[in-house]
């Protein structure tokens, strides 16, 4: 439990909106640590703006929070407007999410794509730390979850809103073959799913030639189960913050949006 008196500028509520769940916690931006309980609530169906903002209000009430809120959202997000909706309700297309967030709190707010958020967190506090600088090369963060998300960093700078989970491979949208939910739905063995993930990473390598891949999403905690099936020349790293990367990165979105 965090008391209002202890809260200052560096504590931000990070909300990681996913197609399956909404995960939130208060985050210390200085060290990336969670400083409250972690609240996980199922994504409402339909995953409409009303439903999702209701969940956020519940989280704020539960934490008695009136400070800054950063949000990672599973869509292209430009200037606070969500522009796509692969795994959420189509009502989000062209929706000014930043305006609604502003009404929720007197504090600062920010909203970015969820994989960009996870990438920001890994670059700042996790596996990407050595590369988060001028001369750090090209790092491609890929999150495997309900969908596949991507966060591309070039010389320590984020190129936002890449949608590399939707590249077409063998006639399929890549995330329809290789996302984590597909492994669960189709009950694929690790080698079966690993082969699909391998095809995906080999295609990314062929097209983009990054220096480093960081693989995120909850499944990154079990990287030893599928990394042996991924055969790429590019350095392949498991995310270090696993599922928390989304929450920590969402909190970082507040500062990142400010700089835009």
Binding site for ligand BGC (CB under 6 A): 74-76, 84, 86-87, 113-115, 143, 145, 147-149, 163, 165, 175
Q: Please tell me the distance from the alpha carbon of residue 154 to that of residue 140, in angstroms, as a whole number.
A: 9
Minimum separation from the CB atom of position 260 to ligand BGC (A): 18
Minimum separation from the CB atom of position 17 to ligand BGC (A): 9
The C-alpha angle with vertex 155 and arms to 218 and 199, in degrees rounded to 5, equals: 45
Nearest CB to ligand BGC, comparing residues 14 and 147: 147
Minimum separation from the CB atom of position 18 to ligand BGC (A): 6
Nearest CB to ligand BGC, comparing residues 11 and 257: 257
Residue nearest to ligand BGC (CB): 147
Nearest CB to ligand BGC, comparing residues 25 and 174: 174
Q: Which two tokens stand for residue 110?
A: 């920010």
* Residue 14 backbone phi and psi in degrees, to 5: -100, 130
Q: Please tell me the distance from the alpha carbon of residue 150 to that of residue 141, in angstroms, as a whole number.
A: 6
Minimum separation from the CB atom of position 7 to ligand BGC (A): 29
Nearest CB to ligand BGC, comparing residues 119 and 126: 119
* Residues comprising the chain, all counted: 260
Beta-carbon contacts of residue 47 (< 8 Å; ≥ 6 apart): 19, 87, 88, 89, 92
């Amino acid at each position: 439990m965090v008391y209002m008196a202890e809260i200052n500028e560096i504590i931000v509520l990070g909300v990681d909106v996913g197609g399956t769940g909404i995960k939130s916690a208060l985050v210390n931006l200085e060290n990336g640590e969670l400083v409250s309980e972690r609240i996980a609530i199922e994504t409402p169906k339909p995953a409409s703006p009303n439903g999702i903002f209701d969940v956020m209000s519940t989280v704020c009430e539960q934490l008695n929070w009136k400070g800054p809120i950063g949000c990672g959202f599973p869509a292209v997000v430009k200037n606070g407007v969500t522009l796509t909706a692969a795994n959420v309700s189509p009502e989000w297309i062209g929706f000014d999410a930043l305006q609604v967030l502003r009404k929720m709190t007197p504090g600062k707010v920010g909203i970015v794509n969820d994989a960009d958020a996870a990438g920001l967190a890994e670059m700042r506090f996790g596996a990407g730390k050595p590369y988060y600088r001028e001369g750090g090369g090209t790092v491609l963060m890929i999150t495997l979850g309900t969908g596949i998300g991507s966060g591309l960093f070039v010389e320590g700078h984020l190129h936002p809103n890449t949608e590399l989970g939707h590249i077409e491979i063998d006639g399929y949208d890549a995330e329809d073959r290789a996302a984590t939910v597909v492994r669960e739905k189709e009950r694929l063995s690790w080698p079966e799913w690993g082969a699909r993930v391998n095809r995906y990473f080999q295609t990314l390598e062929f097209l983009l030639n990054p220096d480093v891949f960081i693989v995120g999403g909850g499944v990154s905690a079990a990287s030893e189960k599928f990394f042996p099936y991924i055969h790429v020349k590019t350095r392949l790293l498991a995310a270090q913050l696993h599922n928390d990367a989304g929450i920590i990165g969402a909190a970082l979105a507040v500062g990142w949006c400010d700089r835009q």
